[in-house]
Each structure stands twice: as C-alpha cells, then as structure tokens.
Structure 1
Amino acid sequence: MGARTLPALPQYRKDGVTRRLCAAVHLDEQFARWADRELTGDRLTSPGLTLGINFVALARHARAAVVRRDTLDRQLTWLAAALGAALLTAGWGLAAGLGSVAVVGIYGPLAVLGASWWLIHRAESQARDAARAVFLGTGKAEALAPPVRPEAEAWLHELKRANALPYADAAALTTPFVGSGTKIKEVVWQPVDVSRPAEAPGGGTLPLRPFDAVDLHTYVAREMESIAGLAGLRARNRLYVIGSHAHLLPELVPDRTARPRAQLPKQLVQAGLLTPGAGMRTHLCLERVGEGGRVVVSMYLRAILHRPHLTWEVAAYVIPPLDGRFDRVDRLPVAPFDRWWSLVGYATSRLWPDLRGAPGRRRARRRRARQDARALARRRREITDQHLLVDHGADGSVRARLGDWAQAGYAERIDAQDYLFRLQQGVLVATERFLKDHHVDTSSFDRARQVISTQTYHISGDITGPSNIGTGGQITVNGPPGPQGPGGPAAAQGQGGPTP
C-alpha cells in the first residue's frame, strides 16, 4: 500500500519561542534590558544552555529595542530641558511685563509637549511594527535586526553546540543540570552483569568484544533518534564542571578574568566519562524540543561501568511553555483605526511620565553601568592580585526562567510524557543492542529491564512539590514551583531578571 496522501494542517513554527521572545523585547523595555545584559553583557559566568532559543536572534532584537528606547530617552531629555527653559521664559516675561516674550514662553511648552508626544508615538509604533515583523516574518529572525558585537555573537554561536557547562556551586548539592527546568526523575538503574559472554549459535560462547563507557555513549548518541522515533532529538556528550573548579581546565577558562568557553576538545569530554575529575563528570544529554518549542524535555545519562557491572545514572527534566505575558504580540491591534487609536492612547498616557522621567532614567542607567563596571573591575583585580577563586558556573538558563507551568495544557503534558517514555525505552533498546553487538550475555540485562520498564512518568497540572516515587516505580510530580519567573528571587537579589 502506498503512502497515504492527506491535506497538510497548520503547524507550529519550529522557531516559535525564539520569535515570540524577540517580539517581546520590542514590547517590554525591562525584559529587553535584562536579555541584553544576560546575553551580551561583560561577565565571568556562563549564561547556561540555549535549550531551543536562538540566542543570536534574541540578542540582536534586544539590543535594537534598547537602542530605540535609549534614543527616545535622550530626545525626551533634551525636550524636558527645553520645557523647563520655556516655562522660565514665560514666567520672566510675565513678571517683566514683556507680553511678546510671555507669549513665546507660553507657546513653547505646547510645542515641546507636541514634539514629545510625537516621539513617543513614533517609538511605540516602530516597536510594534518590529515585534509583528519578527513574529510573523518568513525570513530568519536574526536577519531582522542589526548584529551586535562580533565577539559577542561568536560566543553566542558557540553556545549552540556547547559540550561543556560550568554550573554554579550552589547547585552542586542538588543538580548539575541547571536551567533544565523541573526535575521529573533522578535514579540509578539496576546494575547488570556485562562480564558473561553470550552463547554461540553452534554451542560454546562468543568472545567478548572489549568496550568502555565512551563507546556506549557514542553508540547511544548516534542511534537514539531513530530508535526512539524522535525526529530532531539532540544528543551530545557534555562535561559538567562545578563553577569554582572550572579554572582547573585551562581549555574551559583560558582567562580567569573572562567568561568560560562553551566548547572543549572532544578528548577532555570523553575523559570525564572514563576518569571523572574533581567536580567534573560527562553526561550524555538528550534534548527534545516540543512543537513550536512550547516544552523542552531533557534526559541526562551517564554510563557507570565498574566491571563486571554496568548501570546508568538517569535524570529527566521538563521546561514548561512560556509565561503568558509573552502573548502580548498576539493581542496587538492591527485594524487601521484600532491601531491608530491604541497608539494615540498609549502616547497620551505616557507623555508626562516619560517626559518627566527621562533625565532620571538616563542618570540611573549610567549610575548602574558605572557600579557594575567598578564591581567587575574590582573582582578582576582580586582574581589577578589575590588569586581569588571565582564561581564561573551558570545558575539557570534563559528558557527555564521564562517558563510557567500554568501555561502547560493537556497536549504539552502528554507530549512531555511521550518523549520521556520514548527516551527511556530508547536507552534500554540501544543498550541491549550494544551489548549484543559486543557478545555480552544479556540475561542479567533482561531481568533489570523488567524492573526499569515499570518506572513511569506522571506530569500533571501545576508542579508544586518535590517529585515522589510511589509504588511500582511510578513518579508523581507535585514539585517545587516551575522555574523561577524573572520577577522571582533571582531578580530580588539583584540578578537582573526581567520583571512582569
């Protein structure tokens, strides 16, 4: 029977999350400034994994939005000064009885207010146009905004293929997989005996083919996409390093006063499997981004081969859909009159607050920039002169910080469970095939597989408490709140998170 031909239904865009975030920076100044600092600011730490976001596109649009707002505030600062001068002129003219001067001084403020209103209206119109252009456009999102600094873009491109990640020391007590979302599972599977050779077809036994953990990881990474039936599955070995130990690897931190690199020579990543270092272990990272990027499921594996036994360390995480505040681009008025009226209302309501506050906002931003630069320079002097140990590790990821479990519907929860089941079964099938290819008797593996296969995943509703392992290996998620929103503790402690 030939392939069935059916009409094509509308699909989510693969870069939907990236485009939605790029649109959001044009509509939310605070989010734009946070994203600009997070992705292109001078720093000593890693920003975490990309997890389905095009960092280059987001950085470009965030910088374009920040430049637009800075330009508006600079213009409004000049107009605020002109308004003050006009009011003083009007007052002096009235006091001196100079009617012509007073008239000029009275009409001057009106002209200033009119010019300010027009500038605010134009800036908001440009922001909305840019948001809709990137959200609905057909070209690449990153092509719709000017580039940022070449060195910053090169670093962001490197993050796309990161095979090393320093993680914050504070996370060492819980998980190295910072920024991966909500923990669904963390377990070490039952060990299996890999020392017994398989029986030969004609009697006797087959000679064991030697292998190590690197061989097993390589095989699983290469075969998982087809075995699990998850098109687009990203499989990569990645070395996880405690942040304060990152300097011990010169290839990871060639300059202790600069941010760490995201890519290491393959041999160092493999070494983290055979001979884990001080706070350095290599995991096979399987990442599946759901339809339109709405959910991100990650499974982290580490083959523990201490002959005669082999076992897998397994951890699974899920990132929920974006917070609802990023849906604003969907609600922008587009009908000519509605758009015009909305912009008129916006410019009118923002006229006095924006005009009056422009000088103060510019001073505050310059003050913060100076304070941040002095603090970073002081830390770098301490590293150079006092050999201060610095935590270079990431404490999260952009994608995880912006997720909200309240936005996870039935389809997202079911998809996440499906991905996790497929990944678990895929690892089991790949391991069995690998062992058979190396002439290992799999009877021990078959017994362990019966136990492992009973472990299930239950992802439902709001995740508000720690994961609990129930009878039969069932894992019920009632877990800690989903990833902290940008207005959460990180922002309260001065970490620069965006606000709602």
Structure 2
Amino acid sequence: MPQYRKDGVTRRLSASVHLDDAFALYVDRALTGDRLDALGLSLGINFVALARHARVATRRRATLDRRLALLAAVVPLALLLALWGLVNGHPSLGWVAIFGPIGAYAVAWALVHHKEARGRETAREVFLSAERPERTAPPVEPEAEAALTELKRTNVLPYADAAAHTKPFVGSGDKIKEVVWQPIDVSRPAEAPGGGKLPLIPFDAIDLHTYVARHMENVSGLQGLRARNRLYVLGSNAHLIPELVPDRTRRPRAQIPKQFVQAGLQTPGAGMRTHLCLERIGEGGRLIVSMYLRAILQPPSLTWEVAAYAIPPLDGRFYRVDRLPVAPFERRWDLIRYATRRTGPELRGALGRVQRRHRWRSDHERALAKDRRGITKQHLRYDYGATGSLREDLGAWDEAGYAERTDAQDFLFRLQQGVLVATERFLEDHHIDTSSYDKALQVISTQTYNIGNVSGPSIFGNQGTIAVPGQQGPGPHGAPPGGGPAPGSPAPRP
C-alpha cells in the first residue's frame, strides 16, 4: 500500500518557506541566527534541510525587495524630471512623467511574477522530488549546520526558567498526563522454586533506565520508537556545566558526555534531572507522542515519574503546496492573476520591508552585544533555556483526523503498558517479590488521560477517561502560531 514519506513534515515545511515569505524569514532567523538560548528539539524535522531552503527563500525575497525599492524611486524621479523640463522650456520631458511610472510598474510586475513562479516551482520540486530535501538547496554557514546536525541526537536540553513552573519538557506539545506512580517495594526477595528466598541482585536507577530503553521497542510493539536518556537543565543554571556552555557568550551545546546524563539520574543537581525520553512519531511525522520517565529509587521503594505529551499534525496553511495549479494554462493564468494583484502593494511596501529587516538586524545585534557585555563584564546570570520547539509551534489539533487521534491513544497505551511490563520483568530478573508491584498496578490502572478531543476508557479498565479540550489553532495567515512573527515583524528572540 502507498505510504507517507518518512520525511514528509520536512518536505512540507521546506516547500512552505518558498510559498510564505514571513514563515521563511522566521525559520531562517530561528535556525541560523546568532543566539544565546537553546533552540529546542527537532522532533522529526531535518533542520539542516529546512534551514537551507529557508535561506534560499529569504534571499529571493530580499533580492526582490531591493529591486522593487529601486523601481519605486523611479516614479518621483520621473515627476521631478518632467517638472524640471517644463520649468526650463523642455516640454518633451513631460513624456517621462507618463512612461516612467508605466515602465517601472511593468518591470515590477515581471519581477513579482518571476519570484512567485520560481518559488512555486521550487516548492513542488522539494515536495515531490525523489532527491533528499537537503540536497536540493545550497548549504548555509558550516558552524550553523554543525549545530543543527548536533540536535539530531541531543542528550541535554536547557529549558527556560519560566517553564519550571509548568513543565521542563519544552516543545513537547499538549499534556496527556503528568503523574507519579504508586511506589513499589523492592526490598523483599522473591520466592525460590524449591523454597526459601532468592538472593537480591542489586541495581540502581541507571540499570533500570537502560533496561527499559533497550527493551521498550519490542515490549510495546512500537517499531521505530526512539529511546534516549536526556538531561534537562534549568536555563539559568546551564552555565554550571562547563561542557554544556563552554563559552558563556554562545548558545549551549546539544550533546555532553554521558557521565553528566547518568549523574543527573543518580544524584539530581540544581534544576538538573535526567529523564528517559520515549518518542513515537506517527506516519509521515504527522503526529508525535512523547513519554518522559524518571525512576525514583529510594530504598526500600521504587516509583516512576511519568509525563506524556502529544503534538498534532501541521496546521492547514502548510498544505498549500498540495493545491498549487499544475496544468499549464491554469498555472500560467494563476501566476498572472497573482502578479497583477500583488504588484502594487509589493512596489509600495518594498522600501519599508528593506528598512524593517535592516532595523531588526541592528536591534538584534545590539541586544546580543548588550547581553554579552553583561555576561562578561557584570557576570550576568543568563537564561539559556529553550522556550519551545518549531514542531510544536506549527501544529494544530484541528488538522488531527480520526486516524491521528486513535494513533495517539494507541501510542500512549502501548508506551505505558511497555513501561509496566519492562519494570515487572526487570524486578523479576533481579529476584524481587512483585506482589507490591501488583498492588501498585491496581492504582495505576484507574488514572485518567487526556488526548485531543476524544473520550474513551483507560488502558486497563473503564474508570479512566480521555477527554481534552482541542488546542486552539495557529495564528492568522503569515504569522507562525505560538507567538511567531507577523509579516514584516521580527521573529521571536533568536
């Protein structure tokens, strides 16, 4: 049967930057702009490919604006030249006042038409081509690409201080559940087959995390499940780990030595805790369900801290590439109508857009320089934490159909059941009596869950409910949801 592309979200977003100039500028600033705070998880998006296409699109837009700004200057110059001719006895120059603006408008129309045609062609190419998206656009700066590549296997994430009041798992989507499971007594040995007690095999939280991570894919039946221990660090405390922030005037690293990740599990530090992160990405990346686990081992008991979140499919405005006319006549006629409708506004606003981009760049560089001076001269305690993720900002529950909602339930149930089964097997392997586990399971089975706008029974019985208010969709066209910039306005703090 036909299948969704595994890189479908990357292709759709890479195509969208060629069709939405505001979105392209937002992505370019967010992914490759100079910044001090962490970027956030990629969550199934190939950031390198998206950054390359966003750069191509922003350069195309900037080139058009510069040319239109020059053409916009032709009209007042033509009028001044005609006025000078009339004053100085050269009435023939009056024709300049007539044909100058007409010629400028005709050239502007051709430029707008060419830019839009090129953008649509590139969008369809990156969306439908068999070539990988990152190979269809030139590279950006090497240091920026290295940082984006590092995010693919990040094992540490600083989170913004403001998120400490809600959740450290910034950018993971809407909450499904947040709970600490019933404690399990791990001090009593299991019965030996021939009578007596089996000797307890000692273990620590790292052993349990490793076991669950290694066996979760098979136990849960979720093929392609991503399991990784990740250290979550309070943003203002990130500088306390030199390996995370080697240079306090630059953004934090996305990978640190695993010893720090393990230490964050055994002996949590100041705003630093390690969680086992389980991520299941649905077909074509349309849906993402994440579960974050932390084993709390304080003899004689063990418990799990469990948090689960879901990210819905992309908002509908990223499906424009599917609706582009492809028949020759319809394609040409649609481009003609677009250029005719947009040339006037584009010509009038070109100079303003050029000035706004220059002003944003100057303000941004000035703000960064001020922060860096504060860090180096005044020893400012800077918040390096991420505030969210690009994938979370671009999702909308309105686009989640029946298949996505049921998949989210299935992923959650399998993840939870997998953790419970893996925990039971781990305890049995270490000769621990599981009677306390059986009692805790009865309490866990009555907990409720929240996914999308669906109602239904819990995983083990019918006492739980699944009913969550739908997430509000993204902002108006041209403004990325979750606080993204409106057209012509600066992007969020890069």
Structure 1 residue 77: Cα displacement:
1.8
**Among 464, 467, 477, the residue aligned to 2:467:** 477
1:139 aligned onto 2:131: yes
- Where 1:26 maps in the other structure, the secondary structure is coil
What CA distance in whole angstroms lies between the structure 2 residues aligned with 1:375 and 1:294? 37
Change (3 A) 1:335 1:158: same
1:490 aligned onto 2:480: no
**Among 274, 280, 305, the residue aligned to 2:297:** 305
**Structure 2 residue aligned with 1:322:** 314
Aligned-residue CA RMSD (Å): 2.3
What CA distance in whole angstroms lies between the structure 1 residues aligned with 2:39 and 2:465? 30
Q: Deviations over 1:362-393 (max 9, x none)?
A: 11111111011001101110111111101100
Change (3 A) 1:406 1:489: closer
**Structure 1 residue aligned with 2:366:** 374
What CA distance in whole angstroms lies between the structure 2 residues aligned with 1:462 and 1:356? 48
What CA distance in whole angstroms lies between the structure 2 residues aligned with 1:397 and 1:80? 39
User: Share of identical aligned residues, percent?
Assistant: 66
Structure 1 residue 358: Cα displacement:
1.2
**Among 402, 409, 415, the residue aligned to 2:401:** 409
Change (3 A) 1:458 1:260: closer
Structure 1 residue 197: Cα displacement:
1.4
Structure 2: give runs of 5+ residues left out of the alignment.
Answer: none
- Where 1:382 maps in the other structure, the secondary structure is helix
Change (3 A) 1:309 1:482: farther
What CA distance in whole angstroms lies between the structure 1 residues aligned with 2:367 and 2:465? 45
**Structure 2 residue aligned with 1:276:** 268
**Among 254, 267, 270, the residue aligned to 2:246:** 254
**Structure 2 residue aligned with 1:6:** none
What CA distance in whole angstroms lies between the structure 2 residues aligned with 1:496 and 1:358? 19
Structure 1 residue 94: Cα displacement:
4.0
Structure 1 residue 268: Cα displacement:
0.4
AA in 2 matched with 1:175: K
AA in 1 matched with 2:101: P
AA in 1 matched with 2:68: L
**Structure 2 residue aligned with 1:429:** 421
What CA distance in whole angstroms lies between the structure 2 residues aligned with 1:61 and 1:257? 28
Matches within 5 A, 1:78-477: 78-455=70-447, 457-461=449-453, 474-477=464-467
What CA distance in whole angstroms lies between the structure 2 residues aligned with 1:343 and 1:479? 41
Structure 1 residue 460: Cα displacement:
4.2
Change (3 A) 1:482 1:254: farther
**Is the Cα–Cα contact under 8 Å of residues 15 and 293 in structure 1 kept in the other structure?**
yes
Change (3 A) 1:477 1:248: farther
**Is the Cα–Cα contact under 8 Å of residues 182 and 479 in structure 1 kept in the other structure?**
no
Change (3 A) 1:460 1:388: closer
Change (3 A) 1:280 1:480: farther
- Greater Cα offset, 101-110 or 263-272: 101-110
The number of aligned residues is 485
Change (3 A) 1:50 1:495: farther
AA in 2 matched with 1:474: G
**Is the Cα–Cα contact under 8 Å of residues 452 and 469 in structure 2 kept in the other structure?**
no
- Where 2:483 maps in the other structure, the secondary structure is helix
Structure 1 residue 488: Cα displacement:
5.7
Structure 1: give runs of 5+ residues left out of the alignment.
Answer: 1-8
- TM-score w.r.t. the length of structure 1 is 0.92
Change (3 A) 1:332 1:404: same
